[in-house]
């Protein structure tokens, strides 16, 4: 940078003042498309709910909300999505509030994003970018980080932009003269290679996860999968049932990486329970594809615990969205138990005192008769207080195929450590007696394991 440009930049910085440390300040922009025709009217309630969800997402990412702006239009504007008048209004709000970013509750095209950043003179994000940022900050395992990186790269690729002929690169020698390869093309090729490498790494992770599932299926233990809208309380319930210590936070997408833990049912059967990523409206397609391995845990389950925040005004819509996603990943036919969580937050006027005795009535009131809930067994609980958990465990016991514990005596080779380890892991060893090269074990195990061992 030459001295003149440096002095100009310093002058602009002096006018703006130094950036204060702390959370970034954001202005949220919600959109409601007013359909044409007599029956087509804007739906301000749904748009407001979506903007509320965007505010939760922004807060989860660490932003402070300065202002919320709503725009209603017949159709999106090609250049700026919201029209020049609203852009001018936003620009004034950005300057007056010293906003660090503007977040749109809608996906922006690359052109729209560039136009808006130029007009507003601040960072502009759309809903997908915000969710990707949250996912990037939450992922802990190698698989989670790879999944997020793949989604980010796929999102970034069509949004690369060049800067004209000054970025043109030429090779040396005959046949290479001419405009050459632009920096934009180089970046695209480099990102394409990285996408391929990440996809290969993820396939390796998925192969490992499939191997773990095959090993689990070698011992016939039923697997439960928890599914539900984000922030429905799945991780709190998971910790309450399995004492797993999974992060449970009132932030959206607090848990990304799947966790599998054992659970003992009232019948003394042992099952495996997995916690999965929460669902959300308009979840970016790139993320749905990237988190395929996580969702595979749901497809392999014998029973799904469909967790719903019973205290949410949007419980019906959230539950319908979860059912839609389960159908999209091929898990619609798996038996489900509707777990109505957070009943401790329901007041007496909302039926909070009666939900434990008649959860079906609460399910009908919250979710209606349609949408696939009518034939689903409902259980009302509070994962925070522990209310209703005994009823939930009993419902799980009744819904799973019967596999009672039986007492059995087995004669094994003293060197058969694998079978001994299986008995200790999946049963309860009552007595062990060694006689030369043979060992006699008395144990309580599930009937399915006894049949498998005696068939050898």
Band (pLDDT 50/70/90 cuts) for residue 447 is confident
pLDDT recorded at residue 101: 93
Query: Mean of the pLDDT values across residues 339-344?
Result: 92
Domain boundaries, the chain: 22-134, 220-399, 405-454
CATH architecture of 220-399: 3-Layer(aba) Sandwich (3.40)
pLDDT tens by residue, 155-181: 888 777 644 444 444 444 444 444 545
CA–CA separation, 454 and 456 (whole Å): 5
CA–CA separation, 383 and 454 (whole Å): 40
In this predicted structure, the answer to whether residue 53 has a pLDDT above a threshold of 80 is yes
CA–CA separation, 435 and 33 (whole Å): 79
pLDDT recorded at residue 230: 81
In this predicted structure, the answer to whether residue 58 has a pLDDT above a threshold of 80 is yes
Alpha helices in 83-233 (DSSP H): 84-97, 110-120, 127-138, 142-156, 183-218
pLDDT recorded at residue 415: 84
Mean pLDDT lowest for which of 49-58, 116-125, 245-254? 245-254
Q: State the DSSP string of 67-94.
A: EEEEEEESS-BTTTBS-HHHHHHHHHHH
Band (pLDDT 50/70/90 cuts) for residue 291 is low
- 82 against 164, higher pLDDT: 82
Share of the chain above pLDDT 70, in %: 71
Instruction: Using alpha carbons, select from 263, 183, 201 the residue that is nearest to residue 226.
Output: 263
In this predicted structure, the answer to whether residue 103 has a pLDDT above a threshold of 80 is yes
CA–CA separation, 450 and 456 (whole Å): 10
Q: Which backbone phi and psi does 395 adopt, to 5 degrees? A: -65, -40
Whole-number mean pLDDT of the chain?
Answer: 77
Mean pLDDT lowest for which of 74-83, 220-229, 247-256, 279-288? 247-256
Which residues make Cβ contacts (< 8 Å) with residue 58, sequence separation at least 6?
26, 28, 65, 103, 130
Contact (Cβ atoms closer than 8 angstroms) between residue 367 and residue 308: yes
**CB count, 10 Å around CB of 182?**
17
In this predicted structure, the answer to whether residue 125 has a pLDDT above a threshold of 60 is yes
CA–CA separation, 225 and 222 (whole Å): 10
Contact (Cβ atoms closer than 8 angstroms) between residue 430 and residue 407: yes
Task: Evaluate the CA torsion angle 447, 451, 454, 456 in order and state its sign.
Answer: negative
CATH topology identical between 22-134 and 220-399: yes
pLDDT recorded at residue 190: 87
- 70 against 17, higher pLDDT: 70
pLDDT recorded at residue 298: 79
379-415 in b/e form (b: 16+ CB < 10 A) is bbbbbbeeebbeebbebbeebbeebebeebebebeee
Tokens 């729209």 sit at which residue?
112
pLDDT tens by residue, 424-444: 877 788 999 988 889 999 988
Contact (Cβ atoms closer than 8 angstroms) between residue 209 and residue 296: yes
Specify the 3-state DSSP secondary structure of 264.
strand
pLDDT recorded at residue 47: 78
- 445 against 18, higher pLDDT: 445
Contact (Cβ atoms closer than 8 angstroms) between residue 440 and residue 432: yes
**CB count, 10 Å around CB of 294?**
19
In this predicted structure, the answer to whether residue 89 has a pLDDT above a threshold of 90 is yes
**CB count, 10 Å around CB of 80?**
21
Topology annotation, domain 22-134? Rossmann fold (3.40.50)
CA–CA separation, 394 and 241 (whole Å): 13
pLDDT recorded at residue 260: 78
Band (pLDDT 50/70/90 cuts) for residue 145 is confident
């Amino acid at each position: 940078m030459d001295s003149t440009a440096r002095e100009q930049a310093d002058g602009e910085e002096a006018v703006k003042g130094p950036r204060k440390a702390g959370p970034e300040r954001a202005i949220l922009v919600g959109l409601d498309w007013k359909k044409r025709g007599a029956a087509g009217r804007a739906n301000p309630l749904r748009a407001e709910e979506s903007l509320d969800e965007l505010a939760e997402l922004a807060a989860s990412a660490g932003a402070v909300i300065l202002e919320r702006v709503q725009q209603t239009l017949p159709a999106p504007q090609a250049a700026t999505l919201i029209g020049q008048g609203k852009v001018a209004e936003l620009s004034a709000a950005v300057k007056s509030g010293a906003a660090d970013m503007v977040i749109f509750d809608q996906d922006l095209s690359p052109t729209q994003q560039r136009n808006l950043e130029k007009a507003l003179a601040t960072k502009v994000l759309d809903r997908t970018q915000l969710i990707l940022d949250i996912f990037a900050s939450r992922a802990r395992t190698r698989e989670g980080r790879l999944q997020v990186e793949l989604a980010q790269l796929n999102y970034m690729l069509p949004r690369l932009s060049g800067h004209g002929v000054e970025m043109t690169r030429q090779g040396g020698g005959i046949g290479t003269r001419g405009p050459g390869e632009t920096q934009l093309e180089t970046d695209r090729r480099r990102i394409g290679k990285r996408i391929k490498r990440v996809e290969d790494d993820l396939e390796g992770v998925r192969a490992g996860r499939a191997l773990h599932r095959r090993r689990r299926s070698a011992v016939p233990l039923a697997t439960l999968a928890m599914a539900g809208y984000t922030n429905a309380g799945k991780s709190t319930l998971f910790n309450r049932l399995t004492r797993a210590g999974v992060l449970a936070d009132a932030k959206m997408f607090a848990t990304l990486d799947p966790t599998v833990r054992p659970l003992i049912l009232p019948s003394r059967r042992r099952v495996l329970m997995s916690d999965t990523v929460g669902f959300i409206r308009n979840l970016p397609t790139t993320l749905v594809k990237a988190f395929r391995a996580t969702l595979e845990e749901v497809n392999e389950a014998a029973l799904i615990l469909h967790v719903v925040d019973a205290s949410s005004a949007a419980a019906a819509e959230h539950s319908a969205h979860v059912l839609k996603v389960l159908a999209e990943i091929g898990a619609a036919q798996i038996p489900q138990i509707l777990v109505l969580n957070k009943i401790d937050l329901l007041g007496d006027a909302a039926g909070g005192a009666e939900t434990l005795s008649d959860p079906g009535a609460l399910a009908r009131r919250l979710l209606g008769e349609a949408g696939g809930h009518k034939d689903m067994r409902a259980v009302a609980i509070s994962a925070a207080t522990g209310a209703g958990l005994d009823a939930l465990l009993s419902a799980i016991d009744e819904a799973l195929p019967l596999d009672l514990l039986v007492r059995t005596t087995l004669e094994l080779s003293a060197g058969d450590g694998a079978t001994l380890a299986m008995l200790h892991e999946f049963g309860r060893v009552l007595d062990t007696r060694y006689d030369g090269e043979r060992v006699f074990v008395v144990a309580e195990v599930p009937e399915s394991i006894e049949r498998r061992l005696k068939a050898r």
